[in-house]
Amino acid sequence: MRNTETDRKPGIQRQRAAADGQAVKRHDTVTTTPPPAGSYRLLFMYAILKMLHITAAALSISGFTLRGYWMLRDSGWLERTIVKVLPHLVDTVLLASGVSLILFLRLPVLDQPWLLAKLAAILAYILLGTVALKRGRTRAMRSTAMVLALATFAYVVGVALSKSTSSWLAMP
């Protein structure tokens, strides 16, 4: 039962309407109720997943670029165990965080053209990367694959930022 005396106070009316999940009109603007307390935890989890994904992507492209440089210089660093194992760990974290974001956001993958383009470009990046670092028979073939892989990665980043298959061209 509501107290009629407090119902006349506008602050109490706004609080009650907010508690009921209704839009509240205040000073000619409409505000919505704040999210429930549990949703902050979800926002925090999303932020952590996204930051993990971005960090893993940065580490992945940095490592790929460094290994490409070493490949062009015929460096002995490419034969070290850590250089052979670490990229797989970083890329596993990158893939796992990406899949987790898709599941967390409940994105319908087949209904999101930008996401399909991103996945296709990632596959192209992986194939070009293997040609650049392992399968290329000549230095020219490896160098060309390296440049194409870097351009493909730039396209993936543009798609991720713009949520458009036009990648960087769709940015304002």
> Are 30 and 110 part of one and the same domain?
no
Would you state the structure tokens that stand for residue 73, as one six-digit string? 């210089």
Position 36 scores a pLDDT of 66
- Number of folded domains that form the chain: 2
User: Where is pLDDT greater, at 36 or 54?
Assistant: 54
> Are 68 and 121 part of one and the same domain?
yes
> Are 30 and 42 part of one and the same domain?
no
Position 34 scores a pLDDT of 56
Q: What does the alpha-carbon distance between residue 115 and residue 14 come to, in Å, rounded to a whole number?
A: 41
125-143 residue pLDDT tens: 999 999 999 999 999 999 9
Position 15 scores a pLDDT of 52
> Are 50 and 4 part of one and the same domain?
no
Residues 89-112 have a mean pLDDT of 93
Burial class of residue 79 (count of CB atoms within 10 Å of its CB; 0-12, 13-18, 19+): exposed
> Are 29 and 97 part of one and the same domain?
no
> Are 85 and 20 part of one and the same domain?
no
User: Where is pLDDT greater, at 8 or 113?
Assistant: 113
Residues 130, 67: contact at Cβ < 8 Å? Answer: no
Q: What is the longest distance spanned by two Cα atoms in the chain?
A: 86
Residues 28-48 have a mean pLDDT of 71
> Are 93 and 118 part of one and the same domain?
yes
| Cα–Cα nearest to 125, from 162, 160, 156 | 156
Residues 30-48 have a mean pLDDT of 74
> Are 113 and 150 part of one and the same domain?
yes
User: Where is pLDDT greater, at 35 or 168?
Assistant: 168
Residue 24 has pLDDT above 60, yes or no: no
**Residue 26: strand, helix, or coil:** strand
Can you give the C-alpha Rg of the chain in angstroms? 25
> Are 56 and 136 part of one and the same domain?
yes
| Cα–Cα nearest to 128, from 110, 113, 140, 141 | 141
> Are 86 and 145 part of one and the same domain?
yes
> Are 44 and 115 part of one and the same domain?
yes
Query: Which range of residues forms the domain containing residue 120?
Result: 38-170
Q: What percent of the chain has pLDDT over 70?
A: 78
> Are 122 and 136 part of one and the same domain?
yes
Q: What is the average pLDDT value for the chain, to the nearest integer?
A: 85
